[in-house]
A = this chain, B = another copy of it.
């Protein structure tokens, strides 16, 4: 069960930090892989997980996919206990979602993939039914446009709370769900923790997007002092000393969770 892998890694490195590997531009698979490898080699002592946003690789076409595959293969080989997330935000009709589930869980062999729940259960089922893998559902994102639909009121509660509720009550049968909760609204994270007490959160939006790290971590914590991954991309990748930046984030998160 893949959340067990995550929890083991969190404890081993005493970190809830997820490093977002979003390379600025992919000119060759080798260059991007070399860049990612440098980041991984210098930050892994402080990182529970790595998240690769597929957009940054797809924008380079087949070369980008090669870079994505090389990076994931390297993670498996060099740091087999690290948790690997493909940030793909996929979601399509069942027949097609099966293809995506195969692409990410089997071919790329990541531990988790981010999913867009708008199309409903059957779009997610091919992922959710994989008890050996983790499905990370968009619940309330950190961008301004999130207000357009996530915050629309359905039966007196915002749509995003219905997503959290469905995940907690119906979709987490295999105990393999996570929810994306943006750091820009820590009070939403606190509400989501009540609605979905057993589901860990993936929290983007700290750093370049200006979310509140300490408030987000405190709101998301579970009684076991885990319960979240805090993702930082540009704040580490674009730092002159990525290892020092990762260490500083690890420490700030641990301070917030009282360790």
Contact = CB atoms under 8 A, between A and B. Distances in A.
Contacts of A149: 117-120, 159, 162-163
B122 A138 contact: no
Interface residues of A, number: 61
Nearest to A163: B149
A244 interface: no
B120 A147 contact: yes
Contacts of A143: 93-94, 119-120, 122-123
Interface string A40-80: 00000000000001011011111111100100000000000
B121 A145 contact: yes
B55 A92 contact: yes
State the oligomeric state as a number of copies: 2
Contact of A96 (B56, B144, B159): B56
Interface in A81-102: 89-97, 99-100, 102
B93 A141 contact: yes
Given A55-B97, A62-B66, A89-B92, 7 more contacts: A56-B96, A93-B141, A118-B149, A119-B138, A120-B143, A120-B146, A121-B148
